[in-house]
């Protein structure tokens, strides 16, 4: 079976002061052009304050650093939360990953295909049409510039891994309507499922769906969790400095440290903290035989030699008893 691993090489302009963005291997830069709707002019991304029903546009300068024409795809994408607990902007369609009332793509006219002449720059215009219905909080996303020509796939010889590199830049776009009202993140616990933890070398894991139900980013998020059975703690994990996108969710992995998952009834206790906000969740859940088998099948499970060791010890004891009995029998005959 071939496993495809996508490695994203991109730059994200959200916190840096410079107004141009560049990433190694991308062969181009992007920079925002000052907008009259910019809320904070000191940041390098688009921080826009707009009105319900307003129609406007923003402009980006794209510079080709190569001596050949450059073909790019520019996609206005809504931010989502990866299962690693960070915000990403590389997906055009989010589906259940986002509960935002509006997607950036629908407000900004969708994807654009660009051609930048060799060693030159081009000004690209993106329209914005705000919905008539007002909203509070933020619509957070980015214009994702992808260079499909620079993307390439390399397959290793030994384990049949296909590694796909993607060269892209993301220029942040944050839209407010009401900058006076503070909207804070609000977390909730969704479904509990099974799977694998890629950050722990594909260990079997219990996946707790964490949902941010408000239109605000959850920054410097800390999570502590433990899974117990019949009052005995089995697994525990903790994570720091996570970030959740507004109106998003992700599956937080509680690793088993490569122990096989077993069917049964368990209890999850999970505590989260972002700034001064705190949340605590408790839930009893069940893992079926099929769920445990599916997770273990696609995971790296440590083999347990307990049974074999017990059988070996038993065999040695039987041999010792047999040797003792034969010795006693021989002594009696003599």
pLDDT, greater one: 320 or 185: 185
- Is the model's pLDDT at 315 over the cut of 80? no
Q: What is the pLDDT of residues 201-256, one digit of tens each?
A: 678 999 999 999 999 999 999 999 999 999 999 999 999 999 999 999 999 999 99
User: What domains are defined for the chain?
Assistant: 3-176 (2.60.40.10), 187-297 (2.60.40.10)
Q: What is the C-alpha to C-alpha distance for residues 261 and 255, in angstroms, rounded to an integer?
A: 10
Of 56-60, 130-134, 272-276, 323-327, the one with minimum mean pLDDT is: 323-327
Of 3-7, 219-223, 286-290, 293-297, the one with minimum mean pLDDT is: 3-7
Strand ranges in the chain using DSSP code E only, listed in sequence order: 3-13, 20-22, 28-32, 46-49, 55-64, 70-78, 80-81, 87-88, 112-116, 121-129, 138-155, 161-176, 187-197, 203-212, 218-229, 232-244, 248-255, 264-274, 277-287
- Is the model's pLDDT at 158 over the cut of 80? no
How is residue 4 written in tokens? 């495809």
> Would you place residue 166 in the very low, low, confident or very high pLDDT band (cuts 50, 70, 90)?
low
Q: What is the pLDDT of residues 55-97, one digit of tens each?
A: 999 999 999 999 999 999 999 999 999 999 999 999 999 999 9
> Would you place residue 25 in the very low, low, confident or very high pLDDT band (cuts 50, 70, 90)?
low
**Half-sphere exposure for 183 (CA within 13 Å, toward CB):** 18
Average of per-residue pLDDT values in the chain: 85
| pLDDT value at residue 302 | 61
CB proximity list for 208: less than 8 A, separation 6 or greater: 189, 190, 192, 225, 251, 252, 254, 268, 270
The pTM of the full predicted model, rounded to 2 decimals, is: 0.81
């Amino acid at each position: 079976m071939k496993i495809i691993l996508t490695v994203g090489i991109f730059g994200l302009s959200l916190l840096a002061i410079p107004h141009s963005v560049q990433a190694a291997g991308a062969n181009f830069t992007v920079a925002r052009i000052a907008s009259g709707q910019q809320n904070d002019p000191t940041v390098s991304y688009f921080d826009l304050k707009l009105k319900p029903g307003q129609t406007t546009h923003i402009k980006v300068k794209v510079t080709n650093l190569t001596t050949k024409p450059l073909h790019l795809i520019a996609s206005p994408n809504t931010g989502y939360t990866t299962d690693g607990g960070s915000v990403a902007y590389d997906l055009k369609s989010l589906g259940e990953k986002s509960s935002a009332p509006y997607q950036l793509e629908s407000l900004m006219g969708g994807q654009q295909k660009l051609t930048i002449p060799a060693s030159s720059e081009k000004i690209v215009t993106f329209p914005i049409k705000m919905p008539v219905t007002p909203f509070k909080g933020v619509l957070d996303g980015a214009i994702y510039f992808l260079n499909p020509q620079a993307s390439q796939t390399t397959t290793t010889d030994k384990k049949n891994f296909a590694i796909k590199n993607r060269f892209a830049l993301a220029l942040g776009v944050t839209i407010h309507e009401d900058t006076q009202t503070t909207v804070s993140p609000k977390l909730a616990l969704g479904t509990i499922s099974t799977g694998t933890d890629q950050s722990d070398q594909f260990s079997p894991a219990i996946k707790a769906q964490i949902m941010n139900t408000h239109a605000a980013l959850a920054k410097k998020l800390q999570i502590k969790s433990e899974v117990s059975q019949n009052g005995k703690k089995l697994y525990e994990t903790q994570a720091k400095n996570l970030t959740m996108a507004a109106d998003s969710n992700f599956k937080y992995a509680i690793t088993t440290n490569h122990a096989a998952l077993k069917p049964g009834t368990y209890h999850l206790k999970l505590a989260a903290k972002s700034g001064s906000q705190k949340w605590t969740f408790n839930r009893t859940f069940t893992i079926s035989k099929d769920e445990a088998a599916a997770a273990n099948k696609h995971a790296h499970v440590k083999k347990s030699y307990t049974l074999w060791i017990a059988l070996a010890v038993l065999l040695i004891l039987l041999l010792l008893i047999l040797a003792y009995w034969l010795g006693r029998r021989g002594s009696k005959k003599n």
